[in-house]
C-alpha cells in the first residue's frame, strides 16, 4: 500500500503542460474528452464483437443476452422498476457507513503512529498481521456478533478500509517537517492548535490518498459481502440476476458497478489533486 498505487490513473493530465495558455489547456481537455470516449467506444465495440462471434454458432445462442445492447436496454428497464436506484441506495449506505467508521478509527490511530515512535514500533507487527487477514474471513464472526446483516456488511467494509487510511495518515505525518511543530510550540500553540492548524492541513492529501485506496478495497469487499443474507445492494442484484438467469440484468449491473466505481475514484483523484501541496505530486 505504498503511494505507488494506480496513480497512472490520470495520464491525461500529463498532456496539460503546466502553466500553459488557456487555449492550449482547452485543446488538451478536448483531446482528453476525445480519448475518453474513443477508449470506451473501443471497449464496447470489442465487447459487441466478442458476443457476436460467440453467438455465430447456434450452440452458444444463450450468450446473446451477455451483449452490450441487451445490457443497455436492461439498465433503462431496471432503473424504471426501481432495482438500480434501490441497489445504489443500499450499497451506498453500507459503503458510506463502513468508510466513515474506517476514517473515524483510522485517522486518529494513524496520527498516533506518525507521532509516537514507541506506538509505531509496537503496533507494527499486530497491525500488519491483522491487515493481511482477508476481510471476508471475518464474515462468520461478524454475523455472530452483529444482529443485522447490514451491520455485519458495514463492519466488513470498515475492517477492510481502515488499514489504508491508517497507514496513509501515518506516512503523511512522517513527511511533515518536525521544525513546524517546534515553531508552533514556540509561538505558543496548544495541542489542539497543532492538530487543527498543522497536522490536519498537512496530511489532508495523504488522508485522501488513503481514502481512495480504502474505497478501492471496500469496493472489492462490498459485492461478495452482499452475496449472503441481504436482499438488496449490488451484490444481491448480481446474485439474483444469476439465479433467475437474467443475463442482461447481470451485465447491466456490472456496468453500473464499474461506472459508479469510476465516478467515485475520479472524484477522489480530483480531491487529492486539490489538496496536494507536495511539489510534483
Residue 133 contacts another protein per CB under 8 A: yes
Residue 2 in grid coordinates: 505504498
Size of the site for another protein (CB under 8 A): 74
Query: Which class for 2: exposed (0-12), middle (13-18), buried (19 or more C-beta within 10 A)?
Result: exposed
Residue 16 in grid coordinates: 496539460
User: Helix 247-274 vs helix 83-115: angle between axes, to the nearest 10 degrees?
Assistant: 40
What residues between 72 and 91 interact with another protein by CB under 8 A? none
What residues between 155 and 194 interact with another protein by CB under 8 A? 160, 167
Residue 2 contacts another protein per CB under 8 A: yes
Query: Which class for 258: exposed (0-12), middle (13-18), buried (19 or more C-beta within 10 A)?
Result: exposed
Residue 140 contacts another protein per CB under 8 A: yes
Q: Among residues 161, 162, 203, 217, which is the contact residue for another protein, using CB under 8 A?
A: 217
Measured from the CB atom, is 11 or 108 closer to another protein?
11
Measured from the CB atom, is 66 or 205 closer to another protein?
66
Per DSSP, 227 falls in state: T
What residues between 239 and 278 interact with another protein by CB under 8 A? 239, 241-242, 250, 253-254, 257-262, 264-266
Measured from the CB atom, is 132 or 187 closer to another protein?
132
Residue environment code for 106-136, b if the CB has 16+ CB neighbours within 10 A, otherwise e: bbebbbbbbbeeeeeeebeeebeeebeeebb
Measured from the CB atom, is 30 or 191 closer to another protein?
30
Residue 96 contacts another protein per CB under 8 A: no
Amino acid at each position: 500500500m505504498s503511494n505507488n498505487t494506480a496513480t497512472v490513473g490520470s495520464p491525461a493530465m500529463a498532456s496539460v503542460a503546466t502553466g500553459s495558455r488557456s487555449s492550449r489547456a482547452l485543446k488538451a481537455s478536448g483531446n482528453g474528452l476525445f480519448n475518453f470516449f474513443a477508449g470506451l467506444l473501443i471497449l464496447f465495440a470489442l465487447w459487441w464483437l466478442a458476443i457476436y462471434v460467440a453467438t455465430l454458432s447456434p450452440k452458444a445462442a444463450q450468450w446473446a443476452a451477455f451483449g452490450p445492447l441487451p445490457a443497455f436496454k436492461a439498465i433503462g428497464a431496471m432503473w424504471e422498476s426501481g432495482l438500480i436506484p434501490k441497489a445504489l441506495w443500499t450499497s451506498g449506505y453500507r459503503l458510506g457507513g463502513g468508510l466513515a467508521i474506517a476514517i473515524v478509527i483510522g485517522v486518529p490511530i494513524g496520527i498516533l503512529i506518525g507521532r509516537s515512535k514507541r506506538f509505531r514500533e509496537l503496533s507494527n507487527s499486530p497491525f500488519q498481521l491483522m491487515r493481511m487477514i482477508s476481510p471476508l474471513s471475518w464474515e462468520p464472526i461478524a454475523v455472530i456478533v452483529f444482529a443485522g446483516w447490514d451491520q455485519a456488511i458495514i463492519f466488513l467494509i470498515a475492517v477492510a478500509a481502515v488499514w489504508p487510511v491508517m497507514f496513509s495518515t501515518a506516512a503523511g505525518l512522517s513527511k511533515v517537517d518536525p521544525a513546524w511543530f517546534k515553531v508552533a510550540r514556540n509561538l505558543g500553540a496548544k495541542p489542539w492548535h497543532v492538530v487543527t492548524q498543522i497536522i490536519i492541513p498537512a496530511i489532508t492529501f495523504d488522508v485522501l490518498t488513503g481514502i481512495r485506496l480504502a474505497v478501492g478495497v471496500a469496493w472489492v469487499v462490498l459485492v461478495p459481502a452482499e452475496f449472503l443474507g441481504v436482499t438488496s445492494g449490488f451484490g444481491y442484484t448480481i446474485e439474483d440476476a444469476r439465479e433467475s438467469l437474467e443475463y442482461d440484468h447481470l451485465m447491466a449491473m456490472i456496468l453500473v458497478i464499474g461506472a459508479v466505481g469510476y465516478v467515485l475514484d475520479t472524484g477522489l483523484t480530483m480531491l487529492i489533486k486539490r489538496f496536494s501541496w507536495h511539489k510534483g505530486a
